[in-house]
Amino acid sequence: MTVMMQKMMQNKQRRQRFVGNQSLYVVRRGALAVVVAGSLGFVAACSSLPRDTGPQALRPFEDSANPDDDMNIGPTDGQEPDLLLRDFYRASASPDGDYRAAKRYLTDNAKSNWQPHHDDMLIVDRIEFNTASGPSDSAKRKFNVRGTVIGKLGDGGKYLPEDGLYETSVEMELVDNQWRISSLPSGVVIERNELRNQYQPQSLYFFDSTGSVLVSDRRWLYSQQESLGASLATMLVAGPSSRLAPATKDYVPEDATFLGIDEGTYKFSGMSSMSTEQRMQFAAQLVWTLATASVPGPYSVLIDDVPVRDGLETLSTDDFAGLNPKASSDGVSPLYALANGSLVRVASDQRVPLDDAAGELTDVSAADIGVDGTVAVVRSRGAGTAQSAGGGESQLFVGELDGTLEEALSSEFITRPTLERGGGAVWVATQDKQVVRVVRSTTSGELSTDKVDTSALEEIDGEISVLRLSNSGATAAMIIDGHVYTGVVQHTTTGERKIVNVHEMATEIGGTALSLDWQPDGSLLVGTSAADTPVWRVEQDGSAVSSLPSGNVTAPVVAVAASGSTLYITDAHATLQLPASGSETSFWREVPGLQGQRSVPAVAN
């Protein structure tokens, strides 16, 4: 069997196809596959239900009652049927007036039967169609429509990546000598470009399970709505997305309601059971959600007709500066590197040896460093510049940069360690997709190890070659058999950790991923073995995957790292850097202090 035939069979196994009047599509690989068909009951069972939000409709947009807002959208006289169909899908991106613009392309009967809210909005890479064969009728046309499903957008603007095929048929007929769509499946389908053009990503912020860190919950909002602040407040009261919820602590009661903005004041009700501390935490979520969306402050907030706390008539980010979710993007992060099996610091364009236990250790194959000085290193005999250790016994050492290191674990295979926020624990992956969490006792000072529940990964073939916790600790990113996955970190009632809600991200990368790390803005930086696209950026919700400049990068990219200002990679020849704001024409340049050799960069976080 040829390699091409093997790949075709693999792709066929990974994608199924569903064809019928209700449409049609497949999702994800292996046991992660879920068929989403025309069943409202199924969607309700799998999605988090919104709280009673009173007068505010929980949609990824605010409806515009003014029909003049989209008067320029609609069919033109004498428009050819294929062009009209193309314009219909473009118009479907506008939800105003219950998809008023899109309905202008339909016959009266089709307007009555089409249900745009039948299911989550499907996002496809590109919509393609061709004329279907059948009996000749000059007054009727039938088109076969298909596309590659890359995601779906649900209530509250929640984006979920998908990997499937969309296929359906659309019928058209002449009405008063003008073509109109007479039959089509319910639901809305738009192209990726229309999502980018008509919607904007925003972040809602919820507290993590410890109640100490704000976690981003990315949503997509229709850009033509009247009040961004009102939409964000509505969604915030409704709570985190069902995917992120296991990693968060939500204090807001089920009957809480956002009443609206009255003369500049955000008004909420149904929160009388919340303590003063919980009200302040909700206020922090609201303030940072509005501020990062560029909604001007300060903010006047009333909860059950009273200020959040006595004396706080208005709120600003200064009131919650210690919870700034963008702090890691704005701060200066020290750069370290593994060079010739030793951990060094890169400062003032020079390689500076460490005069402590971490610097004295040899045969180091991987490391992670916290801004508080916590360090975790993996030692492997004959270590080079690989991202992971292998081919013999490896040891994990944990300690402080200015102190001693203690062996915490030994195994045949240990990935690069990743620190929890604050350095309180270290995670590594070992063989058989096992993930181990190392914690130092606050009383005895001794190290202990616990297995993280990874049962959600059982049906995914391959080993974990890379494991990285996000800056908030709420999400884990992994490379398994060259594919990129993310999962949510759940804290169980017994204090254990569990990786849940696992989804494959960036299917465009295929099985070529070799290295990854989180960027301070929540996106992923991914290095691959692909010669034409060796470096990628993946948005935190998987809604966009873009290749980075690669003119002078030679695959494979075996290591990546990122600070708020700079991206770092190690390719086949050297360790390179690129400004985080670099354009497509930018060239990667060797890291000063690491010229002439392949080192593994590590940014303290």
Tokens of 578: 């690129």
Beta pairing, strands 299-303 & 314-315:
antiparallel
Q: How many domains does the chain have?
A: 3
149 and 256 both lie in a single domain: no
Q: Which amino acid is at 466?
A: V
308 and 340 both lie in a single domain: no
Q: Does a structural domain hold residue 6? A: no
Cα angle 205, 210, 216; round to 5: 20
Which of residues 198, 225, 247 is at a domain's end?
Answer: 198
The torsion angles phi and psi of 210, rounded to 5 degrees, stand at -85, -10
Q: Which residues contact 428 (CB under 8 A, 6 or more apart)?
A: 376, 378, 396, 409, 414, 415, 416, 417, 418, 435, 436, 438, 467
For range 153-179, the mean pLDDT: 95
At residue 388, does pLDDT exceed 50?
Answer: no
At residue 236, does pLDDT exceed 60?
Answer: yes
The whole-number pLDDT of residue 176 equals 95
Classify residue 140 as exposed, middle or buried by CB count within 10 Å of its CB (0-12, 13-18, 19+): middle
What's the rounded Cα separation, in Å, for the pair 201 and 227? 15
Within 10 Å of residue 596's Cβ, how many Cβ atoms? 9
Which of residues 173, 198, 223 is at a domain's end?
Answer: 198
- Collapsing DSSP to helix, strand or coil, 71 comes out as coil
**For the chain, what is the mean pLDDT?**
87
The whole-number pLDDT of residue 355 equals 86
At residue 4, does pLDDT exceed 50?
Answer: no
The whole-number pLDDT of residue 9 equals 42
Tens-place pLDDT, residues 121-152: 999 999 999 999 876 688 999 999 999 999 99
Range with lowest mean pLDDT among 58-62, 218-222, 512-516? 58-62
Highest mean pLDDT among 22-26, 298-302, 371-375: 298-302
Q: Does a structural domain hold residue 551? A: yes
Q: Of the candidates 567, 539, 563, which has an alpha carbon nearest to the alpha carbon of residue 553?
A: 567
Q: Does a structural domain hold residue 159? A: yes
181 and 317 both lie in a single domain: no
What's the rounded Cα separation, in Å, for the pair 545 and 536? 7
Q: Which residues contact 294 (CB under 8 A, 6 or more apart)?
A: none
pLDDT band at 405 (very low <50, low <70, confident <90, very high): very high
Of all helices (H) and strands (E), which one includes residue 360? helix 357-360
Which of residues 279, 295, 325 is at a domain's end?
Answer: 325
Tens-place pLDDT, residues 78-95: 999 999 999 999 999 999
At residue 32, does pLDDT exceed 50?
Answer: no
The answer to whether 178 and 77 have CB atoms below 8 angstroms apart is yes
At residue 3, does pLDDT exceed 50?
Answer: no
At residue 549, does pLDDT exceed 70?
Answer: yes
289 and 343 both lie in a single domain: no
Classify residue 248 as exposed, middle or buried by CB count within 10 Å of its CB (0-12, 13-18, 19+): buried
Tokens of 362: 């040899």
Q: Does a structural domain hold residue 3? A: no
The torsion angles phi and psi of 155, rounded to 5 degrees, stand at -55, 145
41 and 108 both lie in a single domain: yes
At residue 50, does pLDDT exceed 80?
Answer: no
311 and 434 both lie in a single domain: no
The whole-number pLDDT of residue 441 equals 86
Residue that wins the pLDDT comparison between 131 and 422: 131
The answer to whether 131 and 143 have CB atoms below 8 angstroms apart is yes
411 and 401 both lie in a single domain: yes
Global confidence as pTM: 0.86
What's the rounded Cα separation, in Å, for the pair 494 and 500? 16
What's the rounded Cα separation, in Å, for the pair 229 and 424? 36
Sign of CA dihedral 80, 81, 87, 88: positive
Q: Look up the CATH number of the domain holding residue 533.
A: 2.130.10.10
What's the rounded Cα separation, in Å, for the pair 243 and 120? 15
For range 248-268, the mean pLDDT: 96
At residue 18, does pLDDT exceed 80?
Answer: no
What's the rounded Cα separation, in Å, for the pair 303 and 331? 34
Tens-place pLDDT, residues 560-585: 999 999 999 999 999 999 999 876 56
Q: Does a structural domain hold residue 247? A: yes
254 and 188 both lie in a single domain: no
What's the rounded Cα separation, in Å, for the pair 220 and 204? 10
The whole-number pLDDT of residue 37 equals 32
At residue 507, does pLDDT exceed 50?
Answer: yes
Tokens of 392: 């013999």
At residue 31, does pLDDT exceed 90?
Answer: no
208 and 141 both lie in a single domain: no
At residue 540, does pLDDT exceed 90?
Answer: yes
127 and 41 both lie in a single domain: yes
Q: Which amino acid is at 559?
A: A
For range 439-445, the mean pLDDT: 87
Q: Which residues contact 377 (CB under 8 A, 6 or more apart)?
A: 343, 358, 361, 364, 366, 367, 396, 397, 405, 417
What are the CA-CA distances from residue 38 to residues 23, 120, 182, 499 (Å)? 8, 10, 20, 30
For range 537-557, the mean pLDDT: 95
């969490």: which residue's tokens?
A: 437
pLDDT band at 5 (very low <50, low <70, confident <90, very high): very low
Residue that wins the pLDDT comparison between 272 and 57: 272
What are the CA-CA distances from residue 253 to residues 50, 172, 306, 308 (Å)? 12, 49, 17, 16
446 and 594 both lie in a single domain: yes
At residue 60, does pLDDT exceed 50?
Answer: no
Percent share of the chain, pLDDT over 70: 85
What's the rounded Cα separation, in Å, for the pair 89 and 189? 7
295 and 337 both lie in a single domain: no
For range 453-471, the mean pLDDT: 97
Q: Does a structural domain hold residue 2? A: no
Q: Does a structural domain hold residue 7? A: no
Q: Does a structural domain hold residue 86? A: yes
Domain housing 311: 200-325
Tokens of 420: 């929890």
Tokens of 449: 């190890």
At residue 108, does pLDDT exceed 80?
Answer: yes
